Structure 1
Amino acid sequence: MPGRARRGRGRLGHRAGLLEGIAALAAPIRVTRHAHSLNDGARHADRYRAGGPRSLGTLDLRSTRRSGVSTRFFDTLSERDGAPVARTVYGEVSGSMDGRVAVWRGIPYGASTGGPGRFRLPQPPQSWTGVRACDDFGDVAPQSPGFTPVDGSLRMGEDCLWLNVWAPADPSDEPRPVMVWLHGGAFCLGTAAQAIYDGKRLAEVGEVIVVGVNYRLGALGFLDLSSLGDDFTPNLGLHDQIAALQWVRDNIAAFGGDPGNVTLFGESSGAGCVTALLTSPLSAGLFHRAIAQSPPATTVFGPERAAVVAKRYLELLELTPDRSAELLTMPVERMITAAGTLLDEVPLREPGRLAAAPVVDGNLLPAYPSERFQQGRSHRVPLIIGTNKDEASLFRLFRSPIMPVTPDAVNGMLRGVAAEHPGLSPERLAQIAAAYESSTPRGALTMSTDAAFRMPSHWVADAHSAHSPTWMYRFDHATPMLKAARVGAGHATELPYVFGNFGSFDYDPTFWLGGRAAAQKVSGRMMRRWLAFAGYGVPAAIDGSKHWRPYSAATRTTLVIDAVDRLVDDPDHDRNSIWGDDVVGFY
């Protein structure tokens, strides 16, 4: 008998959002849902007037201030309000000033995904005349309501294809490097509106343009329903990200950015999207460097697996396959509720798996990304990739089902690996389990960290470094409070160090036991390395920091980031040798 979607359950929905950044230890704020937003009301109508098509490829490079040959690429409305204005191919957009950084929030890069746009490829936004005010974030992509830490006034809705831009306001002799951010959240949670992803510090410290991308999630973005009929397109979240990168290519010059120098970076599932896009023919040429922070690089499924999950989703909605077209007009609240149940159910029944993830579709992803990397078919761009020392600790702290963190769950994961990889002998699996002492809580946590994040990162780096410059890091730093809480360098704890955004959450306990000065020094080094990489393709901070040698499969040279950085060849050699060189994924 088909299961019924349970309202108000969603353990994943209520836990996973906490796992992104120090928000894991902060008091979260609930996202509000408004019916008219979810049903695509015309709440933006007073912000601009729709107009006819505009000619593409024409960018307004007017300048109100010049210093020699230096140019500010965006205009200003008036001396009275000082609002920065940039001309995109769809119309002019005004933002606001935050110190010496110009900020635009909620710029549409795609049309609403509601109504006929649901389960369809992203479409360009409608052009407008006049100046569109981009001072506020757009809709949060539909997801299980709960603990994504954002301002409580934000709405959830399907008009969710938008991005934010941070640009230094001072004149520049040359177009600036661009950094495009993909947020994490297990492919089903999160938003570019989260305070931890504010790009102001990166923009002002590094003289770069920062772009934060909002995209479809969960059932509407990463649940492949294409087995149900031609009305459904797989990998919509990835397609949205590609559309955002195309928007950057066509428009970022108007904000002072260099469309020929774009770094794509992301964390967790956002980093998994980065590694997937590194192997996609559709993203070729849209970015020129990549940074993957804790990527679940082998969490990509095949069409057979996706069809099983799609069938179960219909059961939760009490629909038969011949009624799948009802998904096109179904209230999105009902879809989110069923998706929350599904997203909990899959990792509990099959430890190590997620319900929503990128899939091999023969188009955007012609094959498993791990295979494309092994075949030398990833894009020829420089790459920084790495993980945190204690990835699994936050999942244990919040008892999240996303990762197997108990001995029973980890052993269940190993049984799933054996079923998916018949070439792995029982003896080999027994050796892996014994090496970790997976029957103990500590051993289970370490194995979960390695299976989900660390080994996939090494397999990617081993292959990519054969043809492109690659750098590997391991983030070990933790404040005294995080050490006392047995979190350590847990999943996503590097985020405030990369963005320089400490204290962006209410009641943040990170520094309750001190450690702020040391953390700020670590953050300064990380930001300088990331920014140097974005600017020049080499993470060389000109500040006396430890020289970071490139990675190779032979040496596995790794920068261990802590209060004092260390460069170590293959710091986890014993565990690496147990796994070997054969890629193990969940297909």
Structure 2
Amino acid sequence: MSDPICTLEQGQVKGKIEKDMDGNPFLSFMGIPYAKPPLDKLRFKPPQPAEKWQGIYDATKEPNNCYSLQVELTGFVKLKGSEDCLFLNVFTHQLNKSGSENLRPVMVFIHGGAFITGSIARVTFGPEFLMTEDIVLVLMNYRLGALGFLTIEDPSFQVTGNAGLKDQILALKWVQKNIKQFCGDPSNVTLLGQSAGSASVHYLVLSPQTKGLFHRAVMQSGTATCPWARGKNNTEQLARTSRCKQTDTKQVLECLQGVTVQRLIKAQNKNFAMITGPGAQAAFGPTVEVPNPTAVITDEPLKLINSGNYNHVPLMFGYTSEEGILGAWGSRCKVKKKLKDMLPYSFGYDKDSEEARALRQKVFQFYYGKDKPNIGKMEIFAQISSDITFLRGIYQAIKGHVKTAQKPVYLYRVSIETELNAFKRILKYKHKGACHGDDVCYIFKAKYAKYKPSTIEERAIRRHVRLWTNFARTSNPIPNHDDLVKTYWNPATEKNLNFLDIGEELVPGKEPPDMDRIAFWEQICKGINEKYK
């Protein structure tokens, strides 16, 4: 069979034929440009649509990663990638050469990485599992770190922040214009993401810029209300570290656009840690913009949620049972320093203030009891990290949405532990729980997460894929009369936060087991005028 060729708005692309986990064929198109390379004067600015090309574009190889610190499987961290990185991958079963209306649901995935790392590389995001279902799958790269989230508040410079989110929006517009050619239905698009990708999805749900670009949303382990999902304006400090000594804003921007990408990202990483602790704010990430024509959001996420002023589509939120294993592992050698970050930055307290010390003591007493906080109780530290870093923000979002949403809101919790829980295995964490990122390996084929046929791993993959693709197909994750998924899953309500526990079995319930800890944080927050509400 010859290589497939698809005709797009910009020109023709050549793909290749691959096989899914069952050995059945699907069509693969990788590295399709959806935007102009954001180089020189386009650095930091909103993306511009890709230009047309002559001839047939080769879409058979993986695209560049966006330039950033990339974590290798060996544990080493390397600066790698390119600024010319605004590409997407499309996987389908059939091309639309005859104007067919037999169109498939489209699933568009946004990768994670704390907004400063990550990519759509096949080492983590192989499509072989999802392509066992009759869908069209799209994955996108977007700009990271300072390149994606530098902020200059004066809108005349067109760098008001959130360029990385604007990349995602442009990719969704590309989908609307081109996905029919891959037999995808532009009126049936589900947006999904994990970690920072999940928070991105939530920002896009809240944004007026995305109306009509997608019709459902799945958020895996992240919301716009999580502490790490909010960046700040570090332009002046980045300029100084990059040896841009000008004081005039226009000249500072021109200097930052002119320095090498290597110097820029080294300057970024020299002075700005990824995330300093469970409650810390990101150095570079999404921000609330000053009003301007390209602004993603111009008001606080919680205000938008509580007002109901967002895109009303069916929503699915979820998290792993021990998200904070990742944070606990990363903090194991710096526990005393990290204990000072046991309050969300949005509380607005100086870490060394009396108010902060008093609140930290309440936190320690709740989690450790009479014991002294120590690294020997890693499972407790992981639980605190889970709650501050992820669960508190996720539940803020869910509880707000169930009050104002016009469409169903589903909640799940991943507790399954198998050989596919790759992050927990790589970190050599011995205690119970599914780590942040472990759920990815049940919908994407990762090269570092092995499975064998006819095992609990294979059954879990098929079940997870069925739930996700059925939600994309019908807005209800539970298919009718399906031997693989025999359960019910009611949407969450104000009265009952109905949820589904995804363990070795699927167990529905009226209230997740973590609610006592969420109630503690809600009590802590009473009387605190948080910085971002």
Fold similarity call, TM over 0.5: yes
- Supply the distance in 2 between the matched residues of 1:410 and 1:516 (Cα, whole angstroms): 44
1:376 aligns to 2:308 (yes or no)? yes
- Supply the distance in 2 between the matched residues of 1:174 and 1:349 (Cα, whole angstroms): 49
- Name the structure 2 match of 1:236: 163
- Aligned residue identity for 1:369: P
- Name the structure 2 match of 1:183: 111
Given that 1:431 and 1:578 are in contact with CA atoms closer than 8 Å, whether structure 2 keeps it comes out as: no
1:580 aligns to 2:522 (yes or no)? yes
Inter-CA distance 366–395: structure 2 relative to 1 (3 Å threshold): same
Over residues 496-537 of structure 1, what are the superposed CA-to-partner deviations in whole Å (9 max), with x where a residue is unaligned?
Answer: 1022x25x12xx5x77xx998212222211110000000011
- Which residues of structure 1 form unaligned runs of 5+? 1-80
Inter-CA distance 312–457: structure 2 relative to 1 (3 Å threshold): same
1:207 aligns to 2:134 (yes or no)? yes
**Aligned with 2:438: secondary structure?**
coil
Spell out the pairing of 1:426-445 with structure 2 (5 A cutoff): 430-437=361-368, 439-440=373-374, 441=377, 442-445=379-382
- Alignment equivalent of 2:490, drawn from 535, 549, 559: 549
1:130 deviates by 2.5
Given that 1:177 and 1:209 are in contact with CA atoms closer than 8 Å, whether structure 2 keeps it comes out as: yes
- Supply the distance in 2 between the matched residues of 1:368 and 1:195 (Cα, whole angstroms): 36
Spell out the pairing of 1:193-204 with structure 2 (5 A cutoff): 193-203=121-131
- Supply the distance in 1 between the matched residues of 2:311 and 2:159 (Cα, whole angstroms): 28
Inter-CA distance 186–124: structure 2 relative to 1 (3 Å threshold): same
1:386 aligns to 2:294 (yes or no)? no
**Aligned with 2:106: secondary structure?**
strand
1:464 deviates by 1.8
**Aligned with 1:560: secondary structure?**
strand
1:148 deviates by 7.2
- Alignment equivalent of 1:294, drawn from 218, 221, 228: 221
Inter-CA distance 406–429: structure 2 relative to 1 (3 Å threshold): closer
**Aligned with 1:413: secondary structure?**
coil
- Supply the distance in 2 between the matched residues of 1:173 and 1:255 (Cα, whole angstroms): 11
Spell out the pairing of 1:417-496 with structure 2 (5 A cutoff): 417-419=346-348, 430-437=361-368, 439-440=373-374, 441=377, 442-466=379-403, 467=405, 468-479=407-418, 482=424, 485-486=429-430, 488-496=433-441
- Aligned residue identity for 2:202: T
Inter-CA distance 259–135: structure 2 relative to 1 (3 Å threshold): same
1:129 aligns to 2:54 (yes or no)? yes
- Does 1 or 2 have the higher relative contact order (CA < 8 Å, sep 6+)? 1
Inter-CA distance 364–131: structure 2 relative to 1 (3 Å threshold): same
1:259 deviates by 0.2
**Aligned with 1:456: secondary structure?**
helix
- Supply the distance in 2 between the matched residues of 1:167 and 1:350 (Cα, whole angstroms): 39
- Supply the distance in 2 between the matched residues of 1:302 and 1:517 (Cα, whole angstroms): 36
- Supply the distance in 2 between the matched residues of 1:139 and 1:107 (Cα, whole angstroms): 11
Inter-CA distance 369–250: structure 2 relative to 1 (3 Å threshold): same
TM-score, structure 1 as length reference: 0.76
Runs of at least 4 residues off by over 6 Å: 170-173, 300-303, 424-429, 581-586
- Aligned residue identity for 1:292: M
**Aligned with 2:206: secondary structure?**
coil
1:316 deviates by 1.9
**Aligned with 2:171: secondary structure?**
helix
1:453 deviates by 1.2
- Name the structure 1 match of 2:281: 353
Given that 1:473 and 1:560 are in contact with CA atoms closer than 8 Å, whether structure 2 keeps it comes out as: yes
Inter-CA distance 317–413: structure 2 relative to 1 (3 Å threshold): farther
1:306 aligns to 2:232 (yes or no)? yes
Given that 1:300 and 1:360 are in contact with CA atoms closer than 8 Å, whether structure 2 keeps it comes out as: no
- Name the structure 1 match of 2:22: none
- Which residues of structure 2 form unaligned runs of 5+? 20-24
**Aligned with 2:67: secondary structure?**
coil
- Aligned residue identity for 1:160: C
**Aligned with 1:240: secondary structure?**
helix
RMSD in angstroms over aligned alpha carbons? 3.3
TM-score, structure 2 as length reference: 0.83
Given that 1:188 and 1:222 are in contact with CA atoms closer than 8 Å, whether structure 2 keeps it comes out as: no
1:234 deviates by 0.8
Given that 2:344 and 2:388 are in contact with CA atoms closer than 8 Å, whether structure 1 keeps it comes out as: no
Over residues 15-49 of structure 1, what are the superposed CA-to-partner deviations in whole Å (9 max), with x where a residue is unaligned?
Answer: xxxxxxxxxxxxxxxxxxxxxxxxxxxxxxxxxxx
Inter-CA distance 492–586: structure 2 relative to 1 (3 Å threshold): farther
**Aligned with 2:285: secondary structure?**
coil
- Aligned residue identity for 1:219: A
1:580 deviates by 2.1
- Name the structure 1 match of 2:28: 103
Inter-CA distance 293–366: structure 2 relative to 1 (3 Å threshold): same
1:586 deviates by 7.0
- Aligned residue identity for 1:92: Q
- Supply the distance in 1 between the matched residues of 2:517 and 2:242 (Cα, whole angstroms): 43
1:315 deviates by 2.6
**Aligned with 1:341: secondary structure?**
helix
1:86 aligns to 2:6 (yes or no)? yes
Aligned residues: 490
